């Protein structure tokens, strides 16, 4: 075989790294369950969507409209699941390659740098692409009823595929530069959630109507940088319309960026991926540990040299496990910057929201939408951080051998688990304070009647499901007290779910996937129950709505729409219902935490010894 052809084949088709990852992953039951679960969820959603949108004795036009609605739902769900699962699969490119120093071994093989990078990239990306194209028959079902062009189906696949390629390239780049380590899942989830929430909320604010009074709006410069915005151009082309530069002289980049946002998104992802692959190829040979003096930024934070063998003594307290989780875990430069950076950014955003409204730049509707998006995003991010930290709390100790040392001490499973829970909650308290403080600032602004703002802080709206109108504030001030009552025990429940999976799972990736799946199902169930009951169950609906922190935010900002059945009886009744619901939620989450603690404590020693030595 010619040398050039052999070199070309080893880039991908016969790349030994790619083949190892594909063959190894294909034989794992966890991957099979994940693929089967993904396809099963898509099938179930499609079935229920068909039952809801396609019924008997419908005209051809109605069938086509129902199929189009199903296609929209499935497309959004697929992109969302791909954005959620890609970081999970690609986290192994950092967590598994960095710890055993696999890169150092690979550099001694005849493989060149490009072959190593592409093998790691596409060996893991293969599973995402398999998940993606396994749903192609489901999309074909929607064409049976008409109303869904084949071009739209393949365009939605292009958006999902480009998104997964970009995330995969970022993962490999972090792996090559060794800037991620075992915190890959945390950084991936937080980055994905923050980017999607921030760009989508900013895009909603920047949208402008095509013509005066028209319901349709133009795309913005943010559309090609968010997969859901690009998908909205495809699925809602009547209300979210690209710019038309016919007869207008504009630059080629502006024309492609604003008039063809889907193509711009796909090419942007491909271009950035190529750049990162090139950088990783060049950077690969420079891999190695860095030694030297303590950098100035670490000295400012009171940190020793990264990887150093000495450090100052620290007071541990009464529970060393709680101290280790709340203090020692976050005693790195990256953790300190990320933790307090989140706090500073969140408080700044909260003050900015109030300032923009007070200055007359924003209307009441815009402020309410921004508050809802920001607080919901912050709550989701905090929950993901809690799940990631707790889901890796025990598996990390098992993998690095720390757990074996802990088991030789007099420390019992009960105090060990209680210390983990207390330490993680203490570490997360500054993050939990961010949405609480934002809501408190807005509550003070409302109670002070906007500090003389002529726009006011009260608006008259129609109650959903009723002909009555009622005056509601920008945000119900009682939320500043209710949110921490619900959010703290909810996060504690997420921590216990993560600890449960961390103890029973062999590796960090599997524990994170399981914990996110269970907590996501719990949050989705509470959210769905709150949405349905809020509009139909009277004051009981307000009680049930308060069980979910995200639903509680929506009810505080949009009470007439979210808990209209109780608001129709007066804001006082709705307020009492949410207070009762928050207290019951706190008690309920506390009971769940206590039961999980006892269950894990009883089986802790047996589970740990069963998994001893496994990785």
Q: Are 282 and 334 part of one and the same domain?
A: no
- Out of 88-102, 383-397, 503-517, 583-597, least confident range: 88-102
With a cut of 90, say whether residue 70 has pLDDT above it. Answer: no
Position 292 scores a pLDDT of 44
pLDDT at residue 379 in the model: 93
pLDDT above 70 covers a percentage of the chain that reads 81
Average pLDDT, the chain: 79
Q: Which residue range(s) make up the domain with 486?
A: 330-610
- At 582 the pLDDT is 92
Cβ burial of 183 (10 Å; 0-12, 13-18, 19+) is buried
Last residue of a domain, one of 286, 311, 344: 286
Whether the per-residue pLDDT at 331 is higher than 80: the answer is no
Range name among 176-185, 287-296, 428-437, 507-516 with the lowest pLDDT average: 287-296
Partnered with residue 218 across adjacent β-strands are 241
Q: Do residues 348 and 267 both lie within one domain?
A: no
Across 370-391, average pLDDT: 91
Residues 72-129: pLDDT tens digits? 888 888 888 777 777 666 666 555 544 445 666 776 777 778 888 888 888 878 888 8
Give me the pLDDT at residue 288, please: 44
Which is it for the CA torsion 51, 52, 54, 59, positive or negative?
positive
Q: Are 533 and 555 in contact (CB under 8 A)?
A: no
- Please provide the DSSP assignment of 545-577 as one string: HTTSHHHHHHHHH-HHHHSHHHHTT-HHHHHHH
| Same domain, yes or no: 242 and 337 | no
> Is residue 13 in a domain?
yes
The rounded Cα 291 to chain-centroid distance in angstroms is: 35
508 has a pLDDT exceeding 70: yes
486 and 410 inside one domain: yes
Tell me the average pLDDT across 453-463.
77
What is the average pLDDT across 422-437? 91
Tell me, yes or no, whether 43 and 132 share the same domain: yes
- The residue among 261 and 251 whose pLDDT is bigger is 261
Helix-helix angle 60-90:508-534, to 10 degrees: 140
Residues 389/186, Cβ–Cβ less than 8 Å: yes
Q: Which DSSP string do the residues of 19-73 spell out, in sequence order?
A: HHHHHHHHT-HHHHHHHHHHHHHHHHHHHHHHHHH--SS--HHHHHHHHHHHHHH
Average pLDDT over residues 443-450: 88
Q: Are residues 276 and 376 in the same domain?
A: no
Q: How far is CA 546 from CA 160, 293, 527, 557, 586, in A?
A: 34, 52, 10, 13, 10
Cα gap 340→548, rounded to integer Å? 26
**Whole-angstrom Cα distance, residue 461 to residue 368?**
13
Strands 458-462 and 240-241: unpaired
- Measured in degrees and rounded to the nearest 5, phi and psi for residue 470 equal -150, 150
Q: Per-residue confidence at 184, pLDDT binned at 50, 70, 90?
A: low
CA-to-CA distance for 263 and 201, rounded, in angstroms? Answer: 22
Tell me what pLDDT residue 134 has.
Answer: 82
DSSP 412: -
Burial of 235 (0-12, 13-18, 19+ CB in 10 A): buried
178-187, 258-267, 482-491 — which is least confidently predicted? 178-187
From 108, 107, 127, 153, select the one nearest 18 (Cα to Cα). Answer: 127
Q: Do residues 507 and 588 share a domain?
A: yes
> Residues 236, 334: one domain?
no
What was the pLDDT predicted at 265?
Answer: 92
Instruction: State whether 587 and 447 are in the same domain.
Output: yes
Residue-by-residue DSSP string for 288-334: ----SSPPHHHHHTT---TT-S--------S-HHHHIIIIITT-SHH
For residue 436, what pLDDT is reported? 93
Last residue of a domain, one of 286, 307, 342: 286
Statement to judge: residues 185 and 126 lie in one domain: yes
**Residue 324: predicted pLDDT:** 73
Same domain, 268 and 391: no
Q: Which two tokens stand for residue 71?
A: 């296609």
Domains held by the chain: number? 2
Residue 153, domain member (yes or no): yes
pLDDT digits over 266-317, tens only?
999 999 999 988 888 887 766 544 444 455 555 555 555 555 545 555 555 5
305 in any annotated domain: no
**138 falls within a domain:** yes
Contact assessment for residue 152 and residue 142, using Cβ atoms and an 8 Å cutoff: no
Residue 542 forms part of a structural domain = yes
Contact assessment for residue 126 and residue 22, using Cβ atoms and an 8 Å cutoff: yes
Residue 306: inside a domain: no
Q: What is the pLDDT of residue 590?
A: 93
615 falls within a domain: no
- Domain presence at residue 300: no
Q: pLDDT per residue over 124-163, tens digit each?
A: 788 888 888 888 887 777 766 666 777 888 888 899 889 8
Show which of 229, 258, 286 is a domain's final residue.
286
In terms of domains, do 52 and 180 share one? yes
Q: How confident is the model at residue 615 (pLDDT cuts 50, 70, 90)?
A: very low
């Amino acid at each position: 075989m010619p040398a050039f052809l052999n070199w070309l084949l080893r880039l991908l088709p016969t790349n030994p790294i790619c083949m190892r990852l594909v063959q190894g992953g294909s034989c794992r039951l966890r991957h099979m369950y994940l693929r089967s679960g993904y396809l099963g969820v898509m099938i179930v959603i499609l079935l229920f969507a068909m039952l809801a949108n396609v019924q008997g004795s419908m005209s051809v036009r109605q069938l086509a409209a129902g199929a189009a609605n199903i296609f929209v739902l499935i497309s959004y769900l697929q992109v969302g699941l791909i954005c959620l699962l890609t970081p999970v699969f690609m986290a192994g490119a950092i967590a598994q390659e960095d710890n055993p120093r696999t890169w150092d071994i690979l550099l001694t093989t005849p493989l060149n740098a490009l072959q190593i990078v592409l093998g790691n990239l596409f060996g893991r990306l293969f599973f995402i692409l398999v998940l993606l194209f396994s749903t192609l028959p489901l999309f074909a079902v929607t064409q049976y009823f008409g109303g869904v062009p084949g071009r739209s189906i393949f365009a939605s696949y292009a958006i999902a595929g480009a998104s997964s390629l970009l995330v995969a390239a970022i993962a490999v780049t972090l792996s090559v530069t060794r800037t991620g380590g075992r915190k890959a899942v945390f950084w991936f989830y937080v980055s994905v959630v923050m980017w999607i929430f921030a760009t989508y909320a900013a895009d909603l604010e920047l949208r402008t109507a095509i013509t005066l009074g028209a319901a349709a709006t133009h795309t913005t410069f943010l559309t090609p940088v968010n997969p859901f915005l690009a998908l909205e151009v495809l699925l809602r082309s009547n209300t979210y319309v690209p710019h038309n530069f016919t007869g207008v002289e504009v630059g080629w980049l502006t024309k492609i960026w604003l008039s063809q946002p889907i193509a711009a998104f796909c090419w942007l992802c491909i271009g950035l991926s190529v750049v990162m692959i090139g950088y990783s190829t060049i950077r690969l040979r420079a891999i190695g540990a860095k030694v030297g003096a303590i950098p100035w930024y670490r000295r400012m934070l009171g940190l020793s040299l990264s990887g150093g063998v000495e450090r100052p003594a620290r007071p541990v307290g009464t529970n060393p496990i709680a101290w280790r989780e709340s203090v020692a875990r976050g005693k790195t430069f990256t953790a300190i910057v990320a933790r307090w950076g989140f706090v500073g950014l969140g408080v700044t955003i909260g003050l900015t929201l109030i300032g923009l409204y007070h200055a007359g730049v924003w209307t009441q509707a815009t402020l309410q939408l921004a508050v809802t998006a920001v607080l919901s995003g912050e709550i989701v991010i905090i929950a993901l951080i809690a799940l990631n930290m707790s889901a890796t709390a025990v598996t990390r100790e098992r993998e690095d051998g720390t757990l074996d040392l802990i088991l030789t001490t007099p420390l019992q499973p009960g105090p060990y688990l209680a210390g983990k829970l207390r330490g993680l909650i203490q570490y997360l308290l500054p993050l939990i304070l961010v949405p609480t403080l934002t809501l408190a600032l807005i509550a003070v602004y409302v109670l002070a009647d906007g500090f003389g703002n002529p726009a006011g802080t009260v608006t008259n709206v129609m109650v959903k499901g009723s002909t009555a109108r009622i005056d509601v504030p920008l945000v119900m001030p009682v939320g500043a007290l209710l949110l921490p009552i619900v959010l703290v025990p909810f996060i504690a429940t997420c921590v216990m779910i993560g600890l449960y999976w961390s103890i029973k799972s062999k590796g960090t990736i599997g524990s994170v996937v399981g914990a996110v799946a269970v907590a996501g199902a719990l949050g989705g169930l509470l959210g769905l129950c709150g949405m349905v009951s809020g509009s139909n169950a009277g004051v009981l609906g307000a009680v049930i709505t308060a069980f979910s922190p995200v639903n509680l935010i929506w009810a505080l900002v949009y009470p007439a729409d979210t808990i209209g059945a109780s608001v129709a009886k007066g804001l006082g009744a709705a307020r009492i219902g949410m207070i009762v619901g928050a207290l019951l939620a706190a008690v309920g989450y506390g009971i769940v935490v206590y039961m999980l603690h006892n269950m894990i404590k009883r089986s802790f020693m047996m589970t740990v010894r069963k998994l001893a030595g496994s990785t």
